[in-house]
Amino acid sequence: MNTSLKERLEAAYAAQQSRTYFAAWPESPRAYAEDGMAQGLLAFQSLLTQNFTELLQEGSQGWVGDEVSPYMMTGLGVQYPKFAPEVLIANAKSAQKVWSKTSADIRAAVLLDALDRVALRFFEIAYATMHTTGQSFMMSFQASGPHANDRALEVLSMAYHELNRFPSDVTWVKNMGKFDLTLQKNYKAIPKGVALVIGCSTFPTWNTVPGLFGSLMTGNASIVKPHPKSVLPIAIVVAEIQKALVAAGLPASVVQLGVDTLDHPITKELAENTAVKLIDYTGGSAFGDYIESLQGKTVFTEKAGVNSVILDSVADASAVFGNLAFAASLYSGQMCTAPQNIFVSAEGVNTAEGILSYDDVVAGIANAVKGLAENPKMGAGTLGAIQNDITSTRVKSVEAAAGSSVALASMNIVNPEFPDARTASPTVIAVDAADMKSWKHECFGPIVFVVKTESAAHSLALTSDSAAELGAITCSCYSTDNDFMVEVEDAMNEVFTPVSFNFTGAAFVNQHAAFSDFHVTGGNPSGNASFTDSQYVNRRFVWVGNRKMA
């Protein structure tokens, strides 16, 4: 590996160790080519209603694809080569024989090359993400572009260091009195085998590349099985990895894309195949539980959870309500980190201007959400579009069940650029803590419950219990009481949930920064793995030591 590549890996690894801000790729579109947005749009448009022919895979059996743009509400018309599961497995097993013997330095160089190739298509990937997930353009650019690349590099650099943790060869000498016993020992990091990465519909690259690059860097040939409704962004990424492999004289089938449809899924057939030893999964808990139940597999999951907010006392109520409104509205609440339940004591919330009653807090949150949604400059761009009809239906059914408890009904926000976009602003529902059937389960999408509790201590107890039972990826707490904040941090950390305190302004609970923030802890039912700790890469290979008489 040349010096510049080694320096890039070392810089990324150093950032992980220090946990300070680091970004290998700028998150602002302005940092890239001036005509990047225009060229990216043209590139994206050129893929529509066409067969996607960039994949360097053999053995296809026709074409498949049924993605629909949540903005245009029309099919993209992109068709992908269709592969039988047994063909994907056979190709992966064949490639595994070569890839597993490839040195860590060469693997790292190839994967860094792949990330650089992907970076040249950030704008194109952004439009592909926008029109498959419903994310706004800016979120699509950042999440599927530089942020995803950063997450991939984070895993790549950590895996590289773990693979080089021990020496490859040593001469071992033990004095036996009159003579020395001398052994030659070598240590090898042996990949576990074929890896399967199961993508989700809302973040098709950001949630996919950590597991993919973790498995590839540790020597495991990989199959990417994207969600049928969000294929194009990760298809571009896989194509670029394959090009980097071929350029290095390695088999393209080290990584493959396996596309299916909702009517004819292939996920279980791939997951249950005995050749598949590693599975990364992002999605709902029911299927995630099934993945975790499979025997003979090493599994990494990010599933559903219920994220909570404890609203105890604040310095500036308006700033807090605005922050919560944005966190709940960003991408219409279709983020695994979005807040769902806001716990407020019946005793009210202490502010610099006095005590706000529970009803005042509900009204304040509802007004902040309404103001953001109806803001002509921010509303449509913040909300984006609803990825699928199931989410829209869920909002309507929750509102119908809540009846008069709806403090703010979900609204259809017209997007001037895409008048046919499927949209829904967050609904805000006031509910008593005793009504657990309403709030104590995941309601994915733009749905916020403001839960009335007996006290701040009761709010904490409910939040902790919810995280332990249902899982949580994030937790927010607003308090001016340092002792209470310590109590909250201790209680939530005991159920393996991180806490964000007093976020206002540009800090939002939704955001997890690569190289600094762990995404999911792996300790509660929201998932069994974390982006990125050492276990996330170490469990993908096994150390084996061999000994020989000198």
Q: pLDDT tens-digit profile of 302-341?
A: 999 999 999 999 999 999 999 999 999 999 999 999 999 9
pLDDT of 352: 87
- What angle in degrees, to the nearest 10, is found between the helix axes of 137-144 and 122-133? 120
Q: How confident is the model at residue 550 (pLDDT cuts 50, 70, 90)?
A: confident
> Binning pLDDT at 50, 70 and 90, where does residue 206 land?
very high
Q: What is the pLDDT of residues 364-410, one digit of tens each?
A: 999 999 999 999 999 999 999 999 999 999 999 999 999 999 999 99
- Residue pair 478/312 in contact (Cβ under 8 Å)? The answer is yes
In whole angstroms, what is the distance from residue 128 CA to residue 143 CA? 12
Question: Which 8-state DSSP code applies to residue 29?
Answer: G
pLDDT value of position 511 = 92
Residue 171 phi/psi, 5° resolution?
-100, 120
Are 537 and 159 within 8 A, CB to CB? Answer: yes
How far apart CA 223 and CA 276 sit, in angstroms, is 9
Share of the chain above pLDDT 90, in %: 98
Q: Among 3.40.605.10, 3.40.50.300, 3.40.50.10490, 3.90.1150.10, what is the CATH number of 3-21+31-167+192-303+529-541+543-547?
A: 3.40.605.10
- Asked if the domains 3-21+31-167+192-303+529-541+543-547 and 308-501 are classified in one and the same CATH topology, the answer is no
Parse the chain into domains and list their residue ranges. 3-21+31-167+192-303+529-541+543-547, 308-501
Which residue carries 């053995």 as its tokens? 59
Q: pLDDT tens digit string along 208-222?
A: 999 999 999 999 999
CA–CA separation, 181 and 179 (whole Å)? 7
pLDDT, position 353: 87
Q: Residues 160-196: pLDDT tens digits? A: 999 999 999 999 999 999 999 999 999 999 999 999 9
At 433, list the tokens: 């803590």
Calculate the CA 144 to chain-centre distance.
10
Which CATH superfamily hosts domain 308-501? Aldehyde Dehydrogenase; Chain A, domain 2 (3.40.309.10)
